[in-house]
Structure 1
Amino acid sequence: MSTAEHAPVKNPVLAGFRRQADALVAQMSVEEQALLLSGDGWWQTHGIERLGLAPMVVSDGPHGLRKVNGPGLDGSVPATCFPTAPGLAATWNTALAREVGAALGLEAQASGVHIVLGPGINMKRSPLGGRNFEYFSEDPVLAGRMAAAYIDGVQGQGVGTSLKHFAVNNQEFERMSTSSDVDERTLHEIYLQAFEIAIAQVPPEAQPWSVMSSYNLINGVQASEHRELLTGILRERWGYEGFVVSDWGGIRDRVAGVIAGNHLEMPGSGAHNRQKIIDAVHAGALDRAVLARVTAELVAVILMAHARHRPGSTFDAEAHHALSRRVGAEGIVLLKNEGNVLPLAAGTRVAVIGDFAQAPRYQGAGSSQVNPTRVARPHDELVALLGAEQVRHARGCDEEGVTTDALVAEAVAVAQACDVVLVFAGLPDSYESEGFDRRHIDLPPGQDRLIEALAAAHPKVVVVLMNGSAVAMPWVDSVPAIVEGWLGGQAGGGAIADVLTGRVNPSGKLSETFPVSLQQTAAWPNFPGRDGQAWYGEGLFIGYRHHDKRGLQPLFPFGHGLSYTRYDYTAIRTDASTFDVDADLDGGGRLVVEATLENTGERAGQEVVQLYVRERAPHVVRPERELRAFAKVSLAPGASTTVRFELGRRDFAHYDIGLHDWAVTPGTYDIQVGGSSRELPLCATVEVQASRARRQPLTRQSMVQDFLGRPGGQAAYDELLRALGMGGLVDPVDEAALAKLTPEQLAAKRKGDRGALAFANEMPLYKLPAMSGGRCSDARIDALVRVFGG
């Protein structure tokens, strides 16, 4: 196709730039087009001076700007370090994610950056994933909605984003060579859905400007040259209009990548891959029109980036630090609080134990490292709020979690002189980072030893955790309070102090399941994949889906988080008892669900209201329940509110591998609402209908039971059973004959009928002629398939 034949651009802003891009590309040589498809070094694209096309600058994110002048991690400009993705996701607050995005966009403008490389929304398949601290959640709905808000915030400031890593990028071990082997349904329901929410379920103008392809292969095909993924799904099915950039060094076959829909190779490879593109065009292996189209799609975004850039922009570093503190506090999760040890009462003497109190771990390691404008230490922030005379400190262990008898003894002595003990623990950089996966989910042994010693010596021990993903807690029953502080950004120390002292009522909820042990996780022992293959044998069942389906009790469930007040869920209602999901296809027909809750405690606070959908009797294997909506609400003491949700077709759908599309099975569904995936006190039931339901086409390999549920299919089904000599299973019951049977004979008949029906139902149609002794011919089977095949 020529550049003039591209599909109409739906983004009204990008459409004008696409016309300009087409005109510019028409003036370019093949060599110039090939030049544009590779970066000029590590952090910018090439320009074409004779056409007035300037380079575009990109920078690492996603929780803070990392603008550097070379390939290393050092020398980046000072920028606000916000809480990493798990902490932001734990707020369950899309408005707050949008604020963070807007602040990041402002800082990018001030640094002359056109595109920020983030957010990352890959699923947390296993807590061992080394890059989990960059990813939001194990649930695609939560991750997708948080990402969409974040993208909206950044791009609202005239700076683009790069949604990553597309796709199924869940391990660091051999990440550039391993194939993520996953079935089609799991791919769409778990690993692509978050991307779809942030791309296809937003207005065209809200789409991320770029999508970053991942390092790994997907079912044996390199992600950077996966045509079905980059063109078939991303552009054709989802209507994506931005460009695709490779992860840094993620290109294998450059020409195959261009044909598949991968626009920009980063970092630049000089003439190496550029010449391959040129040679492929001259040899006829790469259509000139394809090259021109791919180049124009990239150039359109470059033009838009320059048009929206605001030279001379500045930002308020203090205001952004304050925002980081607010976000950090709202994402902190109060996991346990027996005896109301927290918040700390006025006048409490506090022992602050642990090296992380003085040298906190506040961000992840790897390409997302930020040079912060300042760092707040938890110890100093507690002193500022409680007074120096109320706070005593002991190191307890070093920054790697190593301790000694002397350090433990000193910590115990300090603890025994105080009213409450705060132990700061977590994972050092050597335990979780980009580039390698965690080997286990344990804290450093010295930290566990320290916590156990303090718990044995003092009744009021509070463990404060700093980590990027779930950790095991062998001492969970020995301490009364546990606070998950995540990697809380540069202001994380102040955020923790705010929550511990009650200046902020905790409202964070876990965006991932905390398992009791590694052996309780879905991907164990198949994680990480080795020898070039990562087999996703657990299918749909990761995180809470796995724990719910297997009836496992996690350490702390998905969505869990306590408060200093109490919320009672009191009522639920739907606006209809039946819901035709296909009415939603016409732009209406949404099911309204309203849930009422009340703050029955003595403090103002925020609660995350979570809505899950459960199919009562699924015809395909499904999770016990799935998150479909959520909202964060603020309530004063004694106040109540009603939260309104609207559900549509997709909220009841599963991915049908026969249709290669989403489908809804009519039936009874429960709508469950509450404060976590395991605390859902409200339930409403709705009968779901699908008036225009698509079904898999019938073939000779289909089963007898596949006629059921199709218009007119009951008659054909009855015909086939009669041909098999089982008419008694579908013909009117002879009540008089049944009355003559003894109870034993009646029970035996019913058992036999069930067995016969099961045998017939699951029989492939091609077997009918032989099994019916010719009473149902091959010609009749072919005729039925033609009639009911669609």
Structure 2
Amino acid sequence: MFRFGHFESTYEPGTIDAAAHGARARSIGGQIAVLLKNDEDILPLDPSSGTILIVGQQTFAGEACLGGGGSSRVVPIYTVDPLDGMRDVVTQLGGGAHVDLHVVADDLSDLDAAVAAASQVDTVVIMAGLIATEGEDLETMDLPNGQYRMIAALADANPRTVVVLKDSNPVVVPWIDQVPAVLEAWNQGTEDGHVVADLVFGVVNPSGKLPTTYPRTEDQHPTAGHSERYPGVDEGDGYPVMRYSEGLGVGYRWFQSEGLEPRFPFGFGLSYTTFAVGDLAVDAGTGPGVDPVTVRATVTNSGSRSGAEVVQVYLRLPESTGQPPRRLVGFHKVTLDPGASAEVEVLLDPDASSHPLSVWSVADHAFVVPDG
């Protein structure tokens, strides 16, 4: 740094455009959210009338959920809390819906009061989640502080209950059959309140896809029954040693290779509209495995709302490679108005750094395209 004169320059900090950065965070936040369930199209909610109660513990319902600690920790210039955000969006839409908030104690000591309040409104929006951080493992895939019990009790009190998850990793959802709608919003940060409200009221149509897999139970996880994988076993040296005995069965590949049906698979995500994908065509070029492969398809918005769909391309490798059944090798996102169609194209370049068609060869010390 001294060599390049960094300490010789005058320190002149600029002004951060909080509004512009916030608008960008709000836009990105709406795009990454994943709609996991929406029975009877309960979402989006109608902002024009009715009563809506936000319920949850302080970290997730009472304030903006900022995420974990460590190197990813950010102290925002401002935050938008859930209640303020939802009321803002109702006003922006010219609606007359009344939105209120009931914060539940972390020890659930006042859960009965929350249940009573939930039974008196038209719609309940539960905000629940967890905060993960680097350098610290979670003991289970459960939501902490008894939130499963809270969700189940509130859902019993009001059948029009929407669950908004705010977490940074997959969780088990044993209460899934008790609620008609689930939205995975993740740890949104500064614009939390506006982002969730935009999604819940349909200002933004969810288009995100899961980047991970949600198991039905923890027993489906690759570490279940395998302490050598986690948390490790003392092999005689006085400290735990972890062995990655699952091999190539990592992430969604584990569920595929073991024939397990997860609760929500990798790449899953619903929308407020519907899409049809057809006219699939694959052009492997004149030199299979050498030339780029082009995958084309036509996507049609067959519903009544504008929305975006992600076409995902998976490759099945020959069994001789010892690889899990399929791998994601490409995708393309397209936004369409109702009734509109578009041709999407996904190019699979064998020379790309992701090596979409190759596997690592120990003998050749290189990525090679297998026969077949």
TM-score by length of 1: 0.43
Report if aligned partners of 1:426, 1:443 keep a CA contact under 8 Å in 2: yes
Q: Which of 53, 66, 70 is residue 351 of structure 1 equivalent to? A: 53
The reply to whether residue 652 of structure 1 matches residue 357 of structure 2 is yes
CA distance in 1, matches of 2:369, 2:343: 28
Letter in 1 for 2:105: C
CA distance in 1, matches of 2:7, 2:186: 34
Paired position in structure 1 for 2:147: 447
Report if aligned partners of 2:87, 2:99 keep a CA contact under 8 Å in 1: yes
SS in 1 for 2:242: strand
Letter in 2 for 1:568: A
Q: Which of 521, 546, 568 is residue 276 of structure 2 equivalent to? A: 568
CA distance in 2, matches of 1:54, 1:576: 52
Q: Give runs of aligned pairs for residues 142-221 of structure 1, distance below 5 A.
A: none
Paired position in structure 2 for 1:478: 178
The reply to whether residue 380 of structure 1 matches residue 87 of structure 2 is no
Paired position in structure 1 for 2:301: 599
Letter in 1 for 2:361: D
Letter in 2 for 1:622: Q
CA distance in 2, matches of 1:528, 1:641: 48
Q: Which of 57, 60, 65 is residue 361 of structure 1 equivalent to? A: 65
CA distance in 1, matches of 2:247, 2:284: 34
Which runs of 5 or more residues in structure 2 are unaligned?
234-238
The reply to whether residue 413 of structure 1 matches residue 364 of structure 2 is no
The reply to whether residue 514 of structure 1 matches residue 214 of structure 2 is yes
Which runs of 5 or more residues in structure 1 are unaligned?
1-44, 58-110, 113-310, 583-588, 668-790
Kindly report the root-mean-square deviation, in angstroms, between the aligned alpha carbons of the 2 structures: 2.1
The reply to whether residue 394 of structure 1 matches residue 102 of structure 2 is yes
How far the C-alpha of 1:54 sits from its partner, in A, is 2.6
Paired position in structure 2 for 1:208: none
Report if aligned partners of 1:393, 1:414 keep a CA contact under 8 Å in 2: no
Report if aligned partners of 1:324, 1:492 keep a CA contact under 8 Å in 2: no
The reply to whether residue 54 of structure 1 matches residue 37 of structure 2 is no
Report if aligned partners of 1:523, 1:542 keep a CA contact under 8 Å in 2: no
How far the C-alpha of 1:606 sits from its partner, in A, is 0.9
SS in 2 for 1:468: coil
Report if aligned partners of 2:55, 2:103 keep a CA contact under 8 Å in 1: yes
SS in 2 for 1:392: strand
Deviations 1:657-713 (A, max 9, x none): 11111111221xxxxxxxxxxxxxxxxxxxxxxxxxxxxxxxxxxxxxxxxxxxxxx
Deviations 1:282-329 (A, max 9, x none): xxxxxxxxxxxxxxxxxxxxxxxxxxxxx6654421100110111111
Letter in 1 for 2:273: T
Distance 1:578 1:418, change over 3 A: farther
Moved over 6 A (4+): none
CA distance in 2, matches of 1:552, 1:324: 36
Deviations 1:369-409 (A, max 9, x none): 222110011111111223586112211233xxx212xx222
Report if aligned partners of 1:467, 1:485 keep a CA contact under 8 Å in 2: yes
CA distance in 1, matches of 2:206, 2:240: 43
SS in 1 for 2:188: coil
How far the C-alpha of 1:347 sits from its partner, in A, is 1.3
The reply to whether residue 612 of structure 1 matches residue 320 of structure 2 is no
CA distance in 1, matches of 2:320, 2:241: 31
SS in 1 for 2:22: helix
Letter in 1 for 2:22: H
Report if aligned partners of 1:513, 1:556 keep a CA contact under 8 Å in 2: yes
Deviations 1:725-783 (A, max 9, x none): xxxxxxxxxxxxxxxxxxxxxxxxxxxxxxxxxxxxxxxxxxxxxxxxxxxxxxxxxxx
Report if aligned partners of 1:329, 1:498 keep a CA contact under 8 Å in 2: yes
Report if aligned partners of 2:321, 2:370 keep a CA contact under 8 Å in 1: no
Report if aligned partners of 1:581, 1:648 keep a CA contact under 8 Å in 2: no
How far the C-alpha of 1:56 sits from its partner, in A, is 7.4
Q: Provide the aligned length of Structure 1 versus Structure 2.
A: 352
CA distance in 1, matches of 2:356, 2:314: 9
How far the C-alpha of 1:349 sits from its partner, in A, is 1.6
Deviations 1:188-233 (A, max 9, x none): xxxxxxxxxxxxxxxxxxxxxxxxxxxxxxxxxxxxxxxxxxxxxx
CA distance in 2, matches of 1:654, 1:357: 46
How far the C-alpha of 1:591 sits from its partner, in A, is 1.8
CA distance in 2, matches of 1:341, 1:420: 10
CA distance in 1, matches of 2:120, 2:44: 19
Q: Give runs of aligned pairs for residues 80-99 of structure 1, distance below 5 A.
A: none
Q: Which of 317, 323, 340 is residue 639 of structure 1 equivalent to? A: 340
How far the C-alpha of 1:419 sits from its partner, in A, is 1.3
Distance 1:56 1:666, change over 3 A: farther
Paired position in structure 1 for 2:255: 547
CA distance in 2, matches of 1:312, 1:375: 22
Report if aligned partners of 1:362, 1:466 keep a CA contact under 8 Å in 2: no
SS in 2 for 1:581: coil
How far the C-alpha of 1:478 sits from its partner, in A, is 0.9
Report if aligned partners of 1:339, 1:480 keep a CA contact under 8 Å in 2: yes
How far the C-alpha of 1:643 sits from its partner, in A, is 0.7
How far the C-alpha of 1:595 sits from its partner, in A, is 1.2
Report if aligned partners of 2:300, 2:339 keep a CA contact under 8 Å in 1: yes
CA distance in 2, matches of 1:566, 1:413: 37
Q: Which of 644, 661, 664 is residue 369 of structure 2 equivalent to? A: 664
SS in 2 for 1:380: helix
Distance 1:595 1:389, change over 3 A: closer
CA distance in 1, matches of 2:331, 2:247: 25
CA distance in 2, matches of 1:377, 1:517: 32
Letter in 2 for 1:522: P
Report if aligned partners of 1:653, 1:664 keep a CA contact under 8 Å in 2: yes
Report if aligned partners of 1:523, 1:536 keep a CA contact under 8 Å in 2: no
Q: Which of 15, 28, 35 is residue 327 of structure 1 equivalent to? A: 28
Paired position in structure 1 for 2:127: 424
Q: Give runs of aligned pairs for residues 656-735 of structure 1, distance below 5 A.
A: 656-667=361-372
CA radius of gyration, larger in: 1
Report if aligned partners of 2:64, 2:188 keep a CA contact under 8 Å in 1: no
CA distance in 2, matches of 1:371, 1:395: 23
Q: Give runs of aligned pairs for residues 455-534 of structure 1, distance below 5 A.
A: 455-524=155-224, 525=226, 526-529=229-232, 531=239, 533-534=241-242
CA distance in 2, matches of 1:563, 1:393: 27
How far the C-alpha of 1:644 sits from its partner, in A, is 0.8
SS in 2 for 1:580: coil
How far the C-alpha of 1:532 sits from its partner, in A, is 5.4
Paired position in structure 2 for 1:536: 244
Report if aligned partners of 2:199, 2:205 keep a CA contact under 8 Å in 1: yes
Letter in 2 for 1:608: V
CA distance in 2, matches of 1:452, 1:578: 58
Q: Give runs of aligned pairs for residues 64-83 of structure 1, distance below 5 A.
A: none
Q: Give runs of aligned pairs for residues 754-773 of structure 1, distance below 5 A.
A: none
Paired position in structure 1 for 2:236: none
**Structure 1 or 2: more helix by fraction:** 1
Q: Give runs of aligned pairs for residues 198-277 of structure 1, distance below 5 A.
A: none
Deviations 1:324-381 (A, max 9, x none): 1111111111110111111001313211111222223222122322221100111111
Report if aligned partners of 2:88, 2:194 keep a CA contact under 8 Å in 1: no
TM-score by length of 2: 0.89
The reply to whether residue 341 of structure 1 matches residue 42 of structure 2 is yes
Distance 1:55 1:577, change over 3 A: closer
SS in 2 for 1:602: coil
Report if aligned partners of 1:335, 1:484 keep a CA contact under 8 Å in 2: yes
CA distance in 2, matches of 1:381, 1:519: 38
